[in-house]
Structure 1
Amino acid sequence: MSMLRTVIVEDEWLALNMMKRYIEEHPKYELIGAYSDPVEALKDISRLQVDVLFTDIGMPGINGLQLAKRAKQDSMQIVFTTAHREYAADAFRVDAVDYMLKPVTRRAIDEIAVKLERIKRLLAMEALNFKAPVMKVQCFGSFQTTNQDGQIVKWPTKKTEEMFAYFIANEGQIVNKWIIADRLWPEMDGSRAVHNVYNTIYRLKKTIEEFSLPLSLRTMNEGYVLEADVAIIVDLYDFRELSEQKELTAGQLQLLQNLYSGYLFQDKDYPWCINLRESLEMTYLTKQQHMSLTLEQPASPEQ
């Protein structure tokens, strides 16, 4: 992934120079602008392709909250720096990714880079959804898969579809054939169930080929792993990416709500996914409740 194109706005020279050094020395960031005057920053940001904006909140003329509202671009992530923890709720109201308490440290800059890269990747995937043909898998609500031409995949058997769902749920993991047999054919003895695994793997590979899906189903030791050859859109994967974050902005919460369009594999009777289904539902409700409590906090007076 390309480096994070970064702008810093900070009216205190010492803090500005310290952050400049941290950003310039970090391999994941590319510093494209550093300003002590938020008005000057606002003039330039509109013509820059900014991935990340680090801005102080308490500044003369235009404070950081006002700057963020005016400068926000679809692909821009905003991180506030502040000496006051009580401004956290205000930060999330303007759809900030996060906030950092001053003095900002090298470690804080490093730790947040992982989160910023993750969100950048999600934003890029969203852009792919509108700009380029891409395979899509909808796991929440009605389970459906479409290829890069928008054609709905027709599965030869219910078990072939279920096996595909099982591999999707176990994102990128090598799954032992005996575990697959136990999960998908729990009522059968081991040898008969494994025989069914072999037959269904064959049907799954043929379906991948028939619909030109950008997937590879590989045999690994005593198991199998399903891997994407190019970027694909899977609502379950995007949901997991977002839910791993400690804090979500209002915009990210809305995206989480859009992704969670129903229970996992809601229209399918897959006993093996019951615990995962309940876990994802609990994660969603917890995130939603946490953000509601954050946004209910009274707004702080503008500095």
Structure 2
Amino acid sequence: MIKAVILDDEVKGSSLLQHKLNAFADVITVERIFNDAPLALAEIQKIKPDVLFLDVEMPVMNGFQFLEALGQFEFDVIFVTAYNVYTLDALRANALDYLLKPVDPDELACALNKLVKKLASKAELVKMNVMNREGTGTRLALPTVEGIYFVKKEEIIKVEAMSNYSVFNLSNLSKIIVSKTLKEFESLLEADGFVRVNRSVIVNLHFVTRYKKGEGGSIELIDGSEVEVSASKKQFLLNRLFGS
């Protein structure tokens, strides 16, 4: 069952959306409704929803400011708003969908269908990652909108964070964008020569060609890119590079 949370400062709007979601009670349940963004900010991570139905125009902070204040999160976001001027902002926020009030039941059904498919891909990734942890292979399963890519770990040069997505840079210079956070891949890669050198990048040490000194320093990779090393990660990185 999909767990949903609704954040809308208007009680009438949130109640109406809940009523429309009740028509899909076989696949989704509303765990909590918030009409106050600061309260939602404090409580939502405890609920661990699969999806957040998020209003845009709200007092104190709007929907985009709410996501920015939240930082990293695991759930998908479906914007529900009376205004059609935020579509591009929603895309930049990597929202799963964008629904206009009053929400059309058919459009809601399409959004939920999209969510079901995405969660199924995530479940498949979890299954493959369990296999990786058990040492049954050296590949990662990376779900994308086109399908699931199976990538050898030794072909990964680096993984970069892009909001709630991860961008895999491969040795053939191709890139794969995956709808999962960097944190979810860190534990799967750390035993195979990978190090998270700052908040946004995990690198494959086998592709490091140079270390430049500095407060944290930086490293050059075989693809010609340069990655800053945070001061807090410097010593750990050097220990891994020089085997101490």
Larger radius of gyration: 1
| Paired position in structure 2 for 1:32 | 31
CA deviation profile, 1:160-197 (whole Å, cap 9, x unmatched) = xxxxxxxxxxxxxxxxxxxxxxxxxxxxxxxxxxxxxx
| Paired position in structure 2 for 1:258 | 176
Taking the aligned partners of 1:122 and 1:96, their CA distance within structure 2 comes to 17
Q: Does 1:118 align with 2:24?
A: no
Taking the aligned partners of 2:34 and 2:117, their CA distance within structure 1 comes to 26
Identity across aligned pairs (percent)? 24
Letter in 1 for 2:111: I
- Taking structure 2 as the reference length, what is the TM-score of the superposition? 0.55
| Paired position in structure 2 for 1:11 | 9
Taking the aligned partners of 1:70 and 1:129, their CA distance within structure 2 comes to 32
Taking the aligned partners of 1:51 and 1:151, their CA distance within structure 2 comes to 29
CA deviation profile, 1:255-303 (whole Å, cap 9, x unmatched) = 794169xxxxxxxxxxxxxxxxxxxxxxxxxxxxxxxxxxxxxxxxxxx
Q: Report 1:1-303 matches (<5 A).
A: 3-26=1-24, 27-71=26-70, 73-130=72-129, 132-133=130-131, 149-150=136-137, 233=141, 238-241=144-147, 254=167, 257-258=175-176
Displacement of 1:115 after TM fit? Answer: 0.6
- Taking structure 1 as the reference length, what is the TM-score of the superposition? 0.45
Displacement of 1:72 after TM fit? Answer: 5.5
After superposition, the Cα gap between the structure-2 partners of 1:24 and 1:44, relative to the gap in structure 1 and judged at 3 Å, is farther
Displacement of 1:97 after TM fit? Answer: 1.3
Taking the aligned partners of 1:49 and 1:129, their CA distance within structure 2 comes to 22
Greater share of residues in helix? 1
* Higher RCO (CA-CA < 8 Å; seq separation 6+): 1
Letter in 2 for 1:39: P
Displacement of 1:121 after TM fit? Answer: 1.9
Letter in 1 for 2:176: N
Contact persistence 1:7–1:32 (CA under 8 A): yes
Displacement of 1:24 after TM fit? Answer: 2.8
Letter in 2 for 1:240: E
Q: Which deviates more, 12-21 or 68-77?
A: 68-77
Contact persistence 1:6–1:33 (CA under 8 A): yes
Taking the aligned partners of 1:62 and 1:151, their CA distance within structure 2 comes to 44
CA deviation profile, 1:107-159 (whole Å, cap 9, x unmatched) = 222111111111112223333444x115xxxxxxxxxxxx971179xxxxxxx
Taking the aligned partners of 1:151 and 1:85, their CA distance within structure 2 comes to 45
Q: Which deviates more, 46-55 or 105-114?
A: 105-114
After superposition, the Cα gap between the structure-2 partners of 1:14 and 1:87, relative to the gap in structure 1 and judged at 3 Å, is same
- Count of aligned residue pairs for this structure pair: 159
For the aligned residue pairs, the C-alpha RMSD in angstroms reads 3.2
CA deviation profile, 1:60-105 (whole Å, cap 9, x unmatched) = 0121111122336543001111222221111122221121111112
Letter in 2 for 1:113: L
CA deviation profile, 1:13-36 (whole Å, cap 9, x unmatched) = 221111011223312111101111
Letter in 1 for 2:136: D
Greater share of residues in strand? 2
Contact persistence 1:69–1:94 (CA under 8 A): no
Unaligned runs of 5+ in 2: 149-161, 169-173, 179-244
Taking the aligned partners of 1:71 and 1:29, their CA distance within structure 2 comes to 23
Taking the aligned partners of 2:113 and 2:102, their CA distance within structure 1 comes to 20
Taking the aligned partners of 2:163 and 2:34, their CA distance within structure 1 comes to 27
Unaligned runs of 5+ in 1: 135-146, 153-231, 243-248, 261-303
